[in-house]
């Protein structure tokens, strides 16, 4: 059986770790050629090695998605290496929490830059490439459906205490998704959004200590208190937080031919949780 994404070219931001890594591996397992991105080269190179060990093709584009020149470099990497662009997954992100009275402008803009401005820039840079590819497809008499999957969160749909910045940015990405679905439909591009609930990654691991991760030059508190974790698990109808692989499956659904007539939609991947 031919893999569903055979020959497709996919770029996945934040794909050196966690959910992004799982998305990249899933798409590669179905035949896609990948551009892997992470802040650091080492995690991206590890994913490259995993994909190549499976017989897939991939190349890295390390760097910060919020850098002004990143979007063009990301798109150019795909076009230069693989001569095409079929799937864009805007996944890169992190949280930097505080209640609104304690939240700094830096925290606010960091979330806007990462979760909303960076995807906007990537999609803006992709538009001329996709327009050219769509025109060539039309002239050749073939119909090729391309895919954009933006990553949101239940925090963007329902809000979450302590995450004014993150929730606002994730709400914004759903608006960007619905608007671009209207603009890009004429180019045979579906634009959808996946809103994750609680997914188990290094940023949400159980910890009883004050643990931080160096993200974009900041020491960001990560991890979930065991008591809070237990309460969260009980609130999820399926009884557990999602794995990165389960999260990746929902993104994959929006990338395969079976979803070619689904656009402007936000899919919740939450284990049945419908509010937080």
Which residues are catalytic, by number? 166
**Spatial separation of the C-alpha atoms in residues 93 and 118, rounded to whole Å:** 10
CB 70 within 8 A of CB 121: yes
Here the tokens at position 162 are 């302590």
Q: Backbone phi, then psi, for 189, in 5-degree steps?
A: -115, 125
Here the tokens at position 124 are 């803006």
Residue recorded with tokens 């190549």: 52
CB 6 within 8 A of CB 31: yes
CB 190 within 8 A of CB 260: yes
Length of the chain measured in residues:
276
CB 157 within 8 A of CB 114: no
Q: Per residue in 202-223, is it b (16+ CB within 10 Å) or e — as a string? A: ebbeeeeeeeeeebeeeebebb
């Amino acid at each position: 059986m031919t893999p569903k994404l055979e020959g497709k070219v996919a770029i996945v931001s934040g794909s050196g770790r966690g959910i992004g890594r799982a998305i990249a591996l899933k798409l590669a397992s179905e035949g896609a050629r990948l551009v892997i991105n992470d802040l650091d080269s080492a995690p991206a190179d590890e994913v490259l090695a995993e994909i190549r060990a499976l017989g897939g093709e991939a190349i890295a584009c390390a760097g910060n998605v919020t850098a002004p020149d990143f979007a063009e470099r990301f798109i150019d990497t795909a076009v230069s290496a693989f001569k095409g662009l079929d799937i864009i997954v805007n996944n890169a992100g992190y949280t930097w929490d505080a209640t609104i009275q304690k939240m700094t402008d830096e925290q606010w803009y960091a979330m806007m830059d990462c979760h909303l401005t960076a995807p906007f820039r990537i999609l803006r840079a992709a538009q001329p490439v996709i327009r050219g590819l769509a025109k060539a497809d039309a002239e050749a008499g073939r119909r090729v459906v391309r895919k954009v999957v933006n990553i949101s969160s239940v925090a963007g749909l329902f809000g979450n205490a302590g995450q004014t910045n993150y929730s606002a940015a994730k709400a914004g990405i759903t608006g960007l998704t619905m608007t671009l679905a209207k603009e890009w439909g004429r180019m045979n591009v579906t634009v959808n959004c996946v809103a994750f609930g609680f997914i188990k990654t290094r940023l949400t691991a159980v910890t009883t200590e004050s643990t931080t991760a160096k993200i974009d030059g900041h020491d960001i508190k990560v991890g979930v208190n065991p008591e809070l974790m237990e309460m969260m698990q009980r609130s999820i109808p399926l009884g557990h937080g999602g794995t990165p692989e389960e999260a990746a499956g929902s993104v994959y659904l929006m990338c395969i031919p079976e979803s070619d007539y689904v656009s402007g939609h936000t899919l919740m991947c939450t284990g049945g949780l419908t509010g937080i």
